[in-house]
Amino acid sequence: MSDLIKDLSELRLNYQKGELHEDQVNPNPHMQFLQWFNHALAAQLHEPYAMSLATANAQGRPHVRTVLLRGATEAGYDFYTNYDSQKGLDLAENPYAELLFYWQEQERQIRISGKVVKISEEESTDYYHKRPRESQIAAHISTPQSGMVASREELQQRFWDLHQQVANQEELDKPGFWGGYRLQPDYYEFWQGRPNRLHDRLSYEKIDGAWKLQRLMP
Protein backbone atom coordinates (compact mmCIF):
# COMPACT_ATOMS: atom_id res chain seq x y z
CA MET A 1 0.00 0.00 0.00
CA SER A 2 3.05 2.28 -0.11
CA ASP A 3 1.95 3.77 -3.44
CA LEU A 4 -1.37 4.99 -2.03
CA ILE A 5 -1.77 8.76 -2.41
CA LYS A 6 -2.26 10.18 1.07
CA ASP A 7 -2.39 13.91 0.36
CA LEU A 8 -4.37 15.32 -2.57
CA SER A 9 -4.11 18.94 -1.49
CA GLU A 10 -1.34 19.77 -3.96
CA LEU A 11 -3.03 18.26 -7.01
CA ARG A 12 -4.59 21.05 -9.07
CA LEU A 13 -4.65 22.71 -12.46
CA ASN A 14 -4.66 26.40 -13.34
CA TYR A 15 -7.48 26.76 -15.86
CA GLN A 16 -6.78 29.19 -18.68
CA LYS A 17 -8.39 27.98 -21.91
CA GLY A 18 -11.29 30.38 -22.19
CA GLU A 19 -13.52 33.15 -20.90
CA LEU A 20 -17.26 33.59 -20.52
CA HIS A 21 -18.82 37.07 -20.69
CA GLU A 22 -22.45 38.10 -20.40
CA ASP A 23 -22.30 40.26 -23.53
CA GLN A 24 -20.92 37.39 -25.61
CA VAL A 25 -23.33 34.56 -24.78
CA ASN A 26 -26.58 33.82 -26.56
CA PRO A 27 -29.65 35.11 -24.67
CA ASN A 28 -31.26 31.74 -25.41
CA PRO A 29 -29.57 29.09 -23.20
CA HIS A 30 -30.40 26.24 -25.56
CA MET A 31 -28.62 28.04 -28.39
CA GLN A 32 -25.67 28.65 -26.07
CA PHE A 33 -25.67 24.94 -25.24
CA LEU A 34 -25.63 24.07 -28.95
CA GLN A 35 -22.73 26.45 -29.52
CA TRP A 36 -20.61 24.78 -26.85
CA PHE A 37 -21.77 21.29 -27.82
CA ASN A 38 -20.81 21.87 -31.45
CA HIS A 39 -17.39 23.13 -30.31
CA ALA A 40 -16.94 19.87 -28.40
CA LEU A 41 -17.97 17.84 -31.45
CA ALA A 42 -15.64 19.80 -33.74
CA ALA A 43 -12.76 19.24 -31.32
CA GLN A 44 -13.48 15.49 -31.52
CA LEU A 45 -13.67 15.11 -27.77
CA HIS A 46 -14.37 11.61 -26.49
CA GLU A 47 -18.15 11.12 -26.30
CA PRO A 48 -19.11 14.77 -25.73
CA TYR A 49 -22.74 13.58 -25.68
CA ALA A 50 -22.10 11.63 -22.46
CA MET A 51 -23.74 13.33 -19.48
CA SER A 52 -24.21 12.68 -15.79
CA LEU A 53 -27.85 12.30 -14.79
CA ALA A 54 -28.74 12.99 -11.16
CA THR A 55 -32.09 11.82 -9.80
CA ALA A 56 -33.50 11.39 -6.30
CA ASN A 57 -36.25 9.22 -4.89
CA ALA A 58 -39.18 10.34 -2.74
CA GLN A 59 -37.00 10.22 0.37
CA GLY A 60 -34.44 12.54 -1.24
CA ARG A 61 -31.75 9.88 -1.63
CA PRO A 62 -29.71 10.86 -4.71
CA HIS A 63 -28.44 8.61 -7.50
CA VAL A 64 -26.11 9.70 -10.30
CA ARG A 65 -24.85 7.88 -13.37
CA THR A 66 -23.62 8.55 -16.90
CA VAL A 67 -26.10 8.31 -19.78
CA LEU A 68 -26.00 9.41 -23.42
CA LEU A 69 -27.75 12.44 -24.87
CA ARG A 70 -29.93 11.27 -27.75
CA GLY A 71 -31.83 14.42 -28.63
CA ALA A 72 -31.47 18.14 -27.93
CA THR A 73 -34.15 20.67 -28.87
CA GLU A 74 -35.81 23.69 -27.33
CA ALA A 75 -38.33 21.23 -25.88
CA GLY A 76 -35.68 19.38 -23.89
CA TYR A 77 -32.87 16.84 -23.69
CA ASP A 78 -33.57 13.17 -24.39
CA PHE A 79 -32.13 9.92 -23.06
CA TYR A 80 -33.33 6.32 -23.13
CA THR A 81 -33.40 3.62 -20.49
CA ASN A 82 -35.35 0.82 -18.84
CA TYR A 83 -38.39 2.28 -17.09
CA ASP A 84 -37.82 -0.20 -14.24
CA SER A 85 -34.23 0.97 -13.68
CA GLN A 86 -33.23 3.05 -10.67
CA LYS A 87 -33.55 6.09 -12.94
CA GLY A 88 -37.08 5.16 -13.86
CA LEU A 89 -38.09 4.36 -10.29
CA ASP A 90 -36.69 7.69 -9.05
CA LEU A 91 -38.41 9.68 -11.78
CA ALA A 92 -41.74 7.98 -11.06
CA GLU A 93 -41.49 9.28 -7.47
CA ASN A 94 -39.74 12.59 -8.11
CA PRO A 95 -39.85 13.91 -11.70
CA TYR A 96 -37.10 16.50 -11.26
CA ALA A 97 -33.51 15.82 -12.31
CA GLU A 98 -30.28 17.46 -13.41
CA LEU A 99 -27.84 16.84 -16.26
CA LEU A 100 -24.13 17.60 -16.19
CA PHE A 101 -21.83 17.84 -19.19
CA TYR A 102 -18.11 18.14 -18.41
CA TRP A 103 -15.62 18.69 -21.20
CA GLN A 104 -12.26 18.58 -19.47
CA GLU A 105 -10.20 19.39 -22.54
CA GLN A 106 -12.04 22.70 -22.95
CA GLU A 107 -12.36 23.36 -19.21
CA ARG A 108 -16.12 23.70 -19.59
CA GLN A 109 -19.13 22.41 -17.73
CA ILE A 110 -22.88 22.76 -18.25
CA ARG A 111 -25.61 21.97 -15.73
CA ILE A 112 -29.22 21.67 -16.91
CA SER A 113 -32.10 21.19 -14.45
CA GLY A 114 -35.79 20.66 -14.91
CA LYS A 115 -38.78 18.34 -14.91
CA VAL A 116 -38.50 15.00 -16.70
CA VAL A 117 -41.34 13.48 -18.72
CA LYS A 118 -41.59 10.33 -20.82
CA ILE A 119 -41.36 10.93 -24.54
CA SER A 120 -43.98 9.44 -26.84
CA GLU A 121 -44.14 5.71 -27.54
CA GLU A 122 -43.76 6.53 -31.22
CA GLU A 123 -40.49 8.42 -30.67
CA SER A 124 -39.17 5.69 -28.38
CA THR A 125 -39.99 2.98 -30.92
CA ASP A 126 -38.40 4.95 -33.74
CA TYR A 127 -35.16 5.38 -31.78
CA TYR A 128 -35.15 1.74 -30.63
CA HIS A 129 -35.12 0.54 -34.23
CA LYS A 130 -32.18 2.82 -35.03
CA ARG A 131 -30.04 1.07 -32.41
CA PRO A 132 -27.65 -1.77 -33.35
CA ARG A 133 -29.38 -5.14 -33.20
CA GLU A 134 -27.15 -6.27 -30.34
CA SER A 135 -28.22 -3.22 -28.32
CA GLN A 136 -31.87 -4.06 -29.04
CA ILE A 137 -31.33 -7.59 -27.73
CA ALA A 138 -29.51 -6.28 -24.66
CA ALA A 139 -32.50 -4.07 -23.84
CA HIS A 140 -34.74 -7.14 -23.84
CA ILE A 141 -32.59 -9.33 -21.57
CA SER A 142 -31.28 -6.70 -19.14
CA THR A 143 -34.34 -6.52 -16.95
CA PRO A 144 -34.98 -5.44 -14.39
CA GLN A 145 -32.07 -3.12 -15.03
CA SER A 146 -29.90 -2.90 -11.89
CA GLY A 147 -31.46 -6.18 -10.73
CA MET A 148 -29.24 -8.99 -9.46
CA VAL A 149 -27.71 -11.52 -11.85
CA ALA A 150 -25.83 -14.60 -10.66
CA SER A 151 -22.82 -14.23 -12.96
CA ARG A 152 -21.42 -12.71 -16.11
CA GLU A 153 -21.83 -16.12 -17.75
CA GLU A 154 -25.57 -16.14 -17.03
CA LEU A 155 -25.94 -12.68 -18.56
CA GLN A 156 -24.02 -13.74 -21.67
CA GLN A 157 -26.11 -16.91 -21.96
CA ARG A 158 -29.36 -14.94 -21.81
CA PHE A 159 -28.01 -12.67 -24.55
CA TRP A 160 -26.99 -15.50 -26.88
CA ASP A 161 -30.19 -17.48 -26.24
CA LEU A 162 -32.31 -14.54 -27.40
CA HIS A 163 -29.85 -13.77 -30.20
CA GLN A 164 -30.50 -17.26 -31.61
CA GLN A 165 -34.25 -17.10 -31.02
CA VAL A 166 -34.62 -13.94 -33.11
CA ALA A 167 -32.01 -14.79 -35.74
CA ASN A 168 -34.66 -15.03 -38.46
CA GLN A 169 -36.64 -12.01 -37.31
CA GLU A 170 -36.06 -8.98 -39.45
CA GLU A 171 -37.19 -6.60 -36.73
CA LEU A 172 -37.51 -6.85 -32.95
CA ASP A 173 -40.39 -5.25 -31.12
CA LYS A 174 -39.42 -2.60 -28.59
CA PRO A 175 -39.95 -3.96 -25.08
CA GLY A 176 -42.73 -2.16 -23.23
CA PHE A 177 -40.49 -1.47 -20.24
CA TRP A 178 -37.96 0.49 -22.32
CA GLY A 179 -38.19 4.00 -23.72
CA GLY A 180 -37.21 7.63 -23.60
CA TYR A 181 -37.32 10.52 -21.18
CA ARG A 182 -37.04 14.25 -21.86
CA LEU A 183 -35.69 16.75 -19.36
CA GLN A 184 -37.56 20.04 -19.85
CA PRO A 185 -35.13 22.72 -18.66
CA ASP A 186 -35.93 25.58 -16.33
CA TYR A 187 -32.33 26.26 -15.27
CA TYR A 188 -28.91 26.23 -16.98
CA GLU A 189 -25.47 26.99 -15.66
CA PHE A 190 -22.43 27.46 -17.91
CA TRP A 191 -19.01 27.16 -16.25
CA GLN A 192 -15.69 28.12 -17.80
CA GLY A 193 -12.51 27.44 -15.85
CA ARG A 194 -10.37 30.52 -15.22
CA PRO A 195 -7.00 31.19 -13.53
CA ASN A 196 -6.76 31.54 -9.74
CA ARG A 197 -10.09 29.74 -9.27
CA LEU A 198 -11.94 32.88 -10.39
CA HIS A 199 -14.09 30.79 -12.68
CA ASP A 200 -16.78 32.23 -14.94
CA ARG A 201 -20.26 30.97 -14.04
CA LEU A 202 -23.34 32.23 -15.86
CA SER A 203 -26.82 30.95 -15.04
CA TYR A 204 -30.09 31.16 -16.93
CA GLU A 205 -33.25 30.79 -14.87
CA LYS A 206 -36.73 30.63 -16.38
CA ILE A 207 -38.94 33.19 -14.64
CA ASP A 208 -42.48 33.90 -15.92
CA GLY A 209 -41.61 32.26 -19.23
CA ALA A 210 -38.47 34.33 -19.87
CA TRP A 211 -34.81 33.48 -19.31
CA LYS A 212 -32.94 35.60 -16.76
CA LEU A 213 -29.15 35.67 -17.15
CA GLN A 214 -26.99 36.14 -14.06
CA ARG A 215 -23.34 35.84 -13.09
CA LEU A 216 -22.56 33.60 -10.11
CA MET A 217 -19.68 33.71 -7.67
CA PRO A 218 -17.07 31.05 -8.54
Name which residue leads in pLDDT, 12 or 41: 41
Q: 15 among the known binding-site residues?
A: yes
Under the banding of pLDDT at 50, 70 and 90, the label for residue 4 is low
Q: Residue 85 domain-assigned?
A: yes
152 is catalytic: no
Q: Residue 50 domain-assigned?
A: yes
Q: Residue 87 domain-assigned?
A: yes
CATH code assigned at 63: 2.30.110.10
Q: Residue 33 domain-assigned?
A: yes
43-58 mean pLDDT:
98
Count of domains forming the chain = 1
Task: Supply the pLDDT for residue 146.
Answer: 80
The pLDDT tens digits for 84-115 are 999 999 999 999 999 999 999 999 999 999 99
63-80 mean pLDDT:
98
Task: Supply the pLDDT for residue 201.
Answer: 98
Q: 65 among the known binding-site residues?
A: yes
Residues 61, 133, 197, 215: which is the catalytic one? Answer: 197
The pLDDT tens digits for 17-42 are 999 999 999 999 999 999 999 999 99
Q: Residue 92 domain-assigned?
A: yes
Q: 149 by DSSP, 3-state: which?
A: coil
Q: Residue 107 domain-assigned?
A: yes
Task: Supply the pLDDT for residue 1.
Answer: 47
Q: What are phi and psi of 116, to 5 degrees?
A: -110, 135
The pTM of the full predicted model, rounded to 2 decimals, is 0.92
pLDDT at residue 154 greater than cutoff 50: yes
Q: Residue 54 domain-assigned?
A: yes
Q: How far apart are CA 70 and CA 203, in angstroms?
A: 24
Q: Residue 174 domain-assigned?
A: no
Residue span of the structural domain in which 35 resides: 15-122+180-215
Q: How far apart are CA 32 and CA 210, in angstroms?
A: 15
Q: 61 among the known binding-site residues?
A: no
* Residue 201: exposure state from Cβ atoms within 10 A (0-12, 13-18, ≥19): middle
